Amino acid sequence: MRDSVRHSRAVMLSALLVFAACRPQPSPAPAPSNRPTAIVEARDATRVAMAAANAAFPSGWRFQVGAPATQAEHGMVVSNSRLASEAGIEILKAGGNAVDAAVATGFALAVTHPTAGNIGGGGFMNIRMADGRSMTLDYRETAPLAAMRDMYVGANGKLTNKSTVGHLASGVPGSVAGMSEALKKYGTMTLAQVMAPAIRLAEQGFMVDSQFSRGIEGGRRAITPFQGKALFFPGDSAVKPGTRLVQDDLARTLKLIAAQGPKAFYEGSIADSLVAEEQRGGGIITKEDLRRYKPEWRTPIKATYRGYTLLAMPPSSSGGITMTETLNILENFAPLPPAGSVKYAHLLAESYRRAFMDRNTKLGDPAFVKNPLNALTSKSYAKVLAAQIDLNHASKTPAFDTKAEGMETTHYSVVDAMGDAVATTTTLNGGYGSGVWVRGGGFFMNNEMDDFAAQPGTPNMFGLVQGEANSIRPGKRMLSAMDPTIVLDPQGKLLMVTGAAGGPTIITATTEVILDVIEHHMMLADAMRAPRLHHQSLPDTLRYEANGMSAATVDSLRAMGHAVAPNRGGLANVNSILRVPGGWHGVNEPRSAGGAVGY
């Protein structure tokens, strides 16, 4: 009975999504709408009621079903900083496309969200133009030329903390090269135009709010040993809410990039400041490392799930392969048990476990490692793995302890009025990266070297236990979990733009939000609020968000043999957009701060 109700809802929803897909593309902004408003509103209302009925959260869960999304007709930007989302919208309204807006948002995040927004880190961009062209850009950091396989192993054979803290922890930054390259190839505006909002925010300052201030206080341990202390901890306290934060050095740096292009960063005076900073603190990044840095265009991983197509990130990120492998396994059990059920949690855990086992041992930078991409993403391989799953009992992987540390990355999603879409994830790795702040440059450096298997077999800061495929080599990109993803509906039309921060939980949270929409037929706002689960094979523990599963569900999973543990904080940080009749829904992560801004 329940299944048939779910099925008929699914059919109705699909019909409405087809309606959405068939609606005329909105013309570039700000065009008056000629949609038959009453009909659209009636259909919206039906769909909202229908989809809201598909979400049910356990009692005691921090969120309620039925929360609103930001709705807009033309374009949408969703990021972890409202000011940065507004920067993107400013560019869309000025006639820019989604790539222009994404680059504007990326540079603005470097000013307003310095825990993860950056020019001293790297990232991945997934672009799909409305005409169907689809590509990804890898601007992941690389290991410096002087890096060595065992550079973080101490004389006693134990891993040191140098891959996470201080000057040795940084890979060669890719963000400036990556954002400039994306703009050059697929944008319509100049760097100076799209960087104008970021430069304004750095030069004129912005009002610090309590969230920003708390974030800086949370980064005290990372920031205060280095030169960023003077700016972010005046008089030794974190910048206070209500203060206008002006960043003169960063403004100068951004203006140089806007005027001279990425050369200013990789060969000019910014490179000089960066290398001088490295030399002062025993770092190894040289002018040669910077001069050689190149972002790489790559073909997206194309997954299919029950008629939907997912365009996702290929190596040097593991995100696309691991998500595809998971979905391929799950497809063998479709239609899946209801969200929140014991059976669903078990299937997710067992699928993640298998996909992460491959991820942690077989993947690495394609310039150095042959990734078995076709094998791992094939439906026939998934069938074999699915057949190994016992529906009543958990399987086992050897246990390791995990270390938890403050960590930050940031994902943003952008669509424009033409239907171009950009999903971008960027990071310094840990919150405020290595803590090192480039004097004169005004920005933090990443601690991305920790994403390598610094000692294969020993867990990294995310508890990931990885093998030789991801060991350190000069010039190599460290394996990432970042997974900016674009979902197309069964008619091939753009449906969803999403992605997350949160180390390995990026993959699981992104997968779950997508499944909640396309499999469980939830509204985006509910899908984003639904309790999340995580399993990464090692440690062999199914993590859930505290109060996100009932005690009875936890007991049942334990009885099946799962080690189950609550996560005190939330799992991952997702920012998503969904196409809906009449436009877009945008939802920023309800577990943290940010802004979904549309027009």
Give me the active site residues, please.
Answer: 409
Residue 498 makes contact with ligand DON by CB under 6 A = no
Binds ligand DON by CB under 6 A, chosen from 70, 97, 112, 429: 429
b/e burial code for range 210-247 (CB count within 10 A of at least 16 → b): eebbebbebbbebbeebbbeebbbeeeebbeeebebeb
Q: Is the CB of residue 194 less than 8 Å from the CB of residue 107? A: yes
Residue 484 makes contact with ligand DON by CB under 6 A = no
Least distance between ligand DON and beta carbon 170 (Å): 12
Residue 547 Rama label (left phi>0; alpha psi -120 to 50; beta): left
The two structure tokens encoding residue 315 = 């190596």
Helix, strand or coil, per DSSP, at residue 380:
helix
Interatomic CA distance for residues 547 and 542, integer angstroms: 14
Interatomic CA distance for residues 178 and 495, integer angstroms: 25
Sole window of 21-29, 173-181, 273-281, 501-509 interacting with ligand DON (rule: CB under 6 A): 501-509
Residue 408 makes contact with ligand DON by CB under 6 A = yes
Binds ligand DON by CB under 6 A, chosen from 309, 460, 480, 567: 480
The two structure tokens encoding residue 387 = 């057949």
**Sites for ligand DON among residues 125-184 (CB under 6 A):** none
DSSP 473-521: -TTPBPPB----EEEE-TTS-EEEEE-EESTTHHHHHHHHHHHHHHTS-
Distance of CA 202 to the CA centre of its chain: 24
Residue 508 makes contact with ligand DON by CB under 6 A = no
Residue 376 or 428: which CB sits closer to ligand DON? 428
Residue of 329, 424, 334, 399 lying closest to 137 (CA atoms): 424
Give, in degrees to the nearest 5, the angle at Cα 515 between 317 and 85: 65
Least distance between ligand DON and beta carbon 518 (Å): 24
Residue 502 or 539: which CB sits closer to ligand DON? 502
Residue 47 or 476: which CB sits closer to ligand DON? 476
Residue 160 Rama label (left phi>0; alpha psi -120 to 50; beta): beta
Residue 189 or 449: which CB sits closer to ligand DON? 449
Binds ligand DON by CB under 6 A, chosen from 501, 564, 578, 587: 501
Binds ligand DON by CB under 6 A, chosen from 278, 365, 451, 519: 451
Least distance between ligand DON and beta carbon 411 (Å): 9
Residue 429 or 556: which CB sits closer to ligand DON? 429
Residue 506 makes contact with ligand DON by CB under 6 A = yes
Sole window of 213-221, 288-296, 500-508, 524-532 interacting with ligand DON (rule: CB under 6 A): 500-508
Helix, strand or coil, per DSSP, at residue 556:
helix
Interatomic CA distance for residues 534 and 13, integer angstroms: 28
Sole window of 51-59, 196-204, 369-377, 479-487 interacting with ligand DON (rule: CB under 6 A): 479-487
Binds ligand DON by CB under 6 A, chosen from 164, 227, 326, 409: 409
x/- mask, ligand DON, residues 379-398, rule CB under 6 A, reads --------------------
Which residues, in sequence order, are bridge partners of residue 598? 76
Residue 556 makes contact with ligand DON by CB under 6 A = no
Residue of 411, 408, 439, 438 lying closest to 423 (CA atoms): 411
Least distance between ligand DON and beta carbon 579 (Å): 26
Residue 502 makes contact with ligand DON by CB under 6 A = yes
DSSP 8-state class, residue 73? S
Residue 169 or 501: which CB sits closer to ligand DON? 501
Binds ligand DON by CB under 6 A, chosen from 310, 385, 481, 560: 481
Contact residues for ligand DON, defined by CB under 6 A: 407-409, 427, 429, 448, 451, 480-482, 501-503, 506
